Amino acid sequence: MKIERIELQQLHIPLRFRFETSFGCTVVKELILVSVYGEGEVGYAESVAMPDPYYNEETTETVWHMMERFLIPKLFASPIETPEDVDRLFAPVRRNHMAKAALEGAIWDLYSKQKGVSLAKALGGSKSVIDVGISIGIEPTVDQVLAKVERHLAEGYKKIKVKIKPGFDVELISAIRKQFGDDVPLMADANSAYTMEHIDVMKELDQYGLMMIEQPLAHDDIIDHAKLQRELSTPICLDESIHSVEDARKAIELGSCGIINIKVGRVGGLTESKRIHDFCQAHDIPVWCGGMIESGVGRAHNIAITSLPNFTIPGDTAASSRYWEEDIVEGGVELIAPGQLAVPDGPGIGYALNARAIGNYVLRSTNFRP
């Protein structure tokens, strides 16, 4: 693959609403749009890192620095034949997974376009339609969450995920079950807000028939999660603890979880996402694709990876119009039926960029050449 130019653009996109988790509140999405040019095609991806190091250690600034100082020079210095070569090329650089994933994802898109196939097909995906769920942040009151649950159930979303934190958990889940019944596919996401001292809270949540409790304990833990899982009938889903197929292997062997959330940025790219998917499939551990409030570019990448067969649980890739007044892809990423998204069959990610919207949101832009 011949790479002729790489462009980085930092964008600030206002959300239509505040989105709160146990570690912070987002009202503006900050991202880095990566464009990789080669042989008449352009591949696109985005960095999902946040401005602050609260979800993980990376930030928008560190991602820009790592790409500019280390990763882009490596791409220009070594020939690559396939996107898998990028994963091997970046391997000597420790962690910095979101920086790696942004560049590798753009090269996957470029590779797919050069081959004239969809990104989903290039990854080995087979689905033409995927089921999707919705993620609801922490609100000032339980009633405000209930109102959102009611609206999103009416829209047909196939899974309801609610964010929880100590003091905003059992009462919330109990109220959702009381109002909407036990058949609603419901899960709770703690974003590492609890410790083993909260085991009584976890056991209370265990009685509500949840699909899973996501990452209740520390962001880097698999030991205490194994202890907790033995005390619960509800599957634990690991998110922040899984950065590689090796992390997945260890967690599964220890019994730390029954489900794994694969976020492309968190694990370092589509190649590693595929490896985790394949390993989990071989060990009967279902996976699903988590969201990081992506623009349409990142959502297109999520859709593509979710087309693989072991993504059996609806992910977080909700419609663009829920988040943005105007997405950076033409037409946005929208439902084709209640709770369903189409897997594009055109070359690459299957979406054209909205240049006018990007121009409205861009803060800085830099080009790199060999």
- DSSP secondary structure string for all residues of 150-163: HHHHHTT-S-EEEE
Give the CA distances from residue 281 to residues 43, 251, 259, in Å, rounded to whole numbers and listed in that order: 29, 14, 11
Whether residue 326 contacts residue 355, with contact meaning beta carbons closer than 8 Å, is answered with: no
Which of 29, 113, 159, 163 is the catalytic position?
Answer: 163
Task: For residue 362, give the H/E element and its range.
Answer: strand 362-368
Question: Cα Rg for the chain, rounded, in angstroms?
Answer: 20
Asked whether 58 and 49 are in contact (CB, 8 A), the reply is yes
Residue type, 37: Y
Adjacent-strand bridge partners of 134: 160
| 263 included as an active-site residue | yes
The amino acid that residue 321 corresponds to is: S
Q: Which residue has the tokens 């790696």?
A: 100
- Tell me which of 113, 159, 263, 274 is the catalytic residue: 263
The secondary structure of residue 69, as a DSSP letter, is I
* Helix or strand run (H / E) with residue 188: strand 186-189
Structure-token pair, residue 300: 């297109």
DSSP 3-state assignment of 36?
strand
- Provide φ and ψ at 196, rounded to 5°: -65, -15
Could you list the active site residues? 163, 263
